[in-house]
Amino acid sequence: MDSSDQASQSSRPCMPRRKFIKDCVAGAAGASALGTLCGSGLALGDRPSPMRPNILYIHSHDTGRHIQPYGYDVETPHLQRLAEQGILFRQAYAAACVCSPSRASLLTGMYPHSNGMLGLAHLGFSLNDYHQHLLWTLRRSAGYYSALIGLQHIAKDPNVIGYDKVQEFPGNHVEQVAPAAADFLKNLPKQPFFLNVGFFETHRALRNPGPDEQPRFTKPAHTLPDTPETRADMAGLKASIRALDWGMGVVLKALEDNHLADNTLVIATTDHGISMPHMKCFLYDGGIEVRLIIRGPGGFEGGNICESLISQVDLFPSLCDLLQIEPPGWLQGKSILPVLHPFLPGHHPGATFENKHYSPSTRKVTTVTESVPRIMEVRDEVFAENNFIVAYEPVRAVRTRRWKYIRHFGDRRRPVLCNTEDSPSKQVWMDYGWAERVVPKEELYDLLFDPNETSNRTEDPAALDALKEMRGRLDRWMHATNDPLLKGPIEPPCGAIINFPDDISPTDHVEKVS
């Protein structure tokens, strides 16, 4: 920072508290973010009336961050426009690397081993209690009408979840789901509403590449060698992403055409990383990274980029914070509203503002001058897990800004190949001996110098302190959340369909648990 910047910031007047609250996202989010950030015990009379925006939760399968706003070579103009209007979170992560557990964590605010979704819903796994789904809290506490259009993948029967309206389609592809969602918005739904729009895309089977996705000019996933097979595989993914973006555009346009956009909070995300080897179904960053774009009331605007660490379990408590409703006691995430702080008017990094802290012990309010950090954090670690995909493979992971630590449970030291979907890319690895690769008991990666997680540092004396720290972080989390792995292997529920760990394909030797 040069001297002129410092002089400008030092001469900036402290912002009065009431103006700060007003600027702090024009409603409930302002007071809520302030209270969450500073822990103040301010009277409710100081807070504005709760806001009740509509909520559009719009999501896809297996997309990771592989869209244009994150810099990937695939045109997604509608998602790009959404990012330019809202806030794009560059460090958002799923709590699991496979579909149902990840989605269930977002919608319950709990990790999979706490909410019960230890595997895939269509293979016999379910939530412990569907009343812990976000929609029930929105209905009880804020009167929200709820609708599901398209994919959900947290229950065999969508009607057990509790939506007021359910509309699914064979395949749940964008061609059916997007127009149905647009019709819902056109027909003046009850407000406020919570609308869940889910697309099958970009799950396998992938679309056929078109003129814009020529395999010969396509770069494969970063985990894979550059071969004709891996290029063609990625071209198919790009074609599916293009179809997804079209569907997103249809729904977002319907919001605008029906004058709902200004009062609708759009949460656009996905369940986990793309379906390529060492990505989906693995706890490397490529498996748990997710796109997250939020636009709408509460300060989610301006085309800003948020660098803060975010877990999808944080979205449920964030909505409670924004709407000023009592958060359920089971929530394990943290409100992300404080990360909006640097984006508020007059609150660029380094700026100062006055904040009031109430002390219950002295019953006094003190005024403190605080400054806005470059990156506001609500957490310094994110956690992720795997239990069952098609076969049992218990793994836990913790990630900080600098380090990733992964722990594999049990005695198996070879890949569980059937947990990776069949694909041309998988076959390339199989042809060159993937089945014989050793899976270490522990993995530690320095994400600053090794962002692709290829150099395991667990045996490096120079990384011993980091290894001890990350082991401790994981152990504390497992105990705090009463992880069943602490007591030994996890048994699948009766009726679940599982594979044997030695199977090659998800279609091999499937058996039903009795």
Single residue among 379, 409, 433 that ends a domain in this structure:
379
The string of pLDDT tens digits covering residues 208-228 is: 999 999 999 999 999 999 999
The string of pLDDT tens digits covering residues 438-475 is: 999 999 999 999 999 999 999 999 999 999 999 999 99
In a shared domain, residues 438 and 465: yes
Residue 226, domain member (yes or no) = no
Distance CA 480, CA 476 (A): 6
Distance CA 421, CA 448 (A): 30
In a shared domain, residues 349 and 390: no
Residue 369, domain member (yes or no) = yes
In a shared domain, residues 358 and 429: no
Nearest 5°: the CA angle 76, 78, 84 is: 100
In a shared domain, residues 399 and 508: yes
Six-digit token pair at 459?
A: 């045996």
Give the DSSP per-residue string, 142-191.
H--EEEEEE---S-SSGGGT--SEEE--SS--HHHHHHHHHHHHHT---S
Distance CA 369, CA 98 (A): 44
Question: Domain tally for the chain?
Answer: 2
The confidence band for 17, taking pLDDT boundaries of 50, 70 and 90, is: very low
Residue 402, domain member (yes or no) = yes
Six-digit token pair at 383?
A: 């956690």
Distance CA 465, CA 273 (A): 30
- What predicted TM-score, i.e. pTM, was given to this entire model? 0.87
The string of pLDDT tens digits covering residues 407-442 is: 999 999 999 999 999 999 999 999 999 999 999 999
In a shared domain, residues 416 and 437: yes
Distance CA 468, CA 466 (A): 5
The answer, yes or no, to whether residue 358 has pLDDT greater than 90, is no
Residue 197, domain member (yes or no) = no
In a shared domain, residues 375 and 386: no
Residue 277, domain member (yes or no) = no
In a shared domain, residues 392 and 359: no
N-terminal to C-terminal alpha carbon distance within the chain: 65
In a shared domain, residues 375 and 387: no
The confidence band for 33, taking pLDDT boundaries of 50, 70 and 90, is: very low
Q: Is residue 135 exposed (0-12), middle (13-18) or buried (19+ Cβ within 10 Å)?
A: buried
For the chain, how many helices (H) and strands (E)?
Answer: 13, 18
Residue 209, domain member (yes or no) = no
Q: How many CB atoms lie within 10 A of CB 326?
A: 9
pLDDT (mean) for 146-174: 97
Six-digit token pair at 24?
A: 């702090």
Residue 327, domain member (yes or no) = yes
The answer, yes or no, to whether residue 346 has pLDDT greater than 60, is no
Single residue among 329, 345, 379 that ends a domain in this structure:
379
Query: HEC profile for 327-338?
Result: CCCCCCCCCCHH
In a shared domain, residues 326 and 441: no
Amino acid 350: pLDDT: 61
For 133, the enclosing helix (H) or strand (E) is none
> Which residues pair with residue 385 across a beta bridge?
96, 396
The string of pLDDT tens digits covering residues 52-71 is: 999 999 999 999 999 999 99
The answer, yes or no, to whether residue 138 has pLDDT greater than 70, is yes
The answer, yes or no, to whether residue 402 has pLDDT greater than 60, is yes
Distance CA 417, CA 500 (A): 10
In a shared domain, residues 371 and 417: no
CB 154 within 8 A of CB 103: yes
Six-digit token pair at 246?
A: 């079209």
Q: What is the CATH number of the domain that holds 446?
A: 3.30.1120.10
Which runs of consecutive H residues, i.e. helices, occur in 345-433? Answer: 424-431
Single residue among 349, 379, 409 that ends a domain in this structure:
379
Distance CA 428, CA 223 (A): 12
Distance CA 274, CA 267 (A): 19
Shortest CA distance to 339 belongs to which of 368, 370, 307, 317? 307
Amino acid 286: pLDDT: 98
Residue 359, domain member (yes or no) = yes
In a shared domain, residues 368 and 303: yes
In a shared domain, residues 406 and 363: no
Distance CA 388, CA 410 (A): 13
Q: What is the dihedral of CA 393, 506, 154, 255, to 10 degrees?
A: 120
CB 135 within 8 A of CB 163: yes
Q: State which residues form the domain around 497.
A: 382-512
The answer, yes or no, to whether residue 40 has pLDDT greater than 50, is no
Long-range contact set of residues 154-157: C-beta below 8 Å, sequence gap at least 24:
154/100, 154/103, 154/104, 154/107, 154/117, 154/121, 154/126, 154/127, 155/121, 155/126, 155/127, 155/130, 156/121, 156/122, 156/124, 156/126
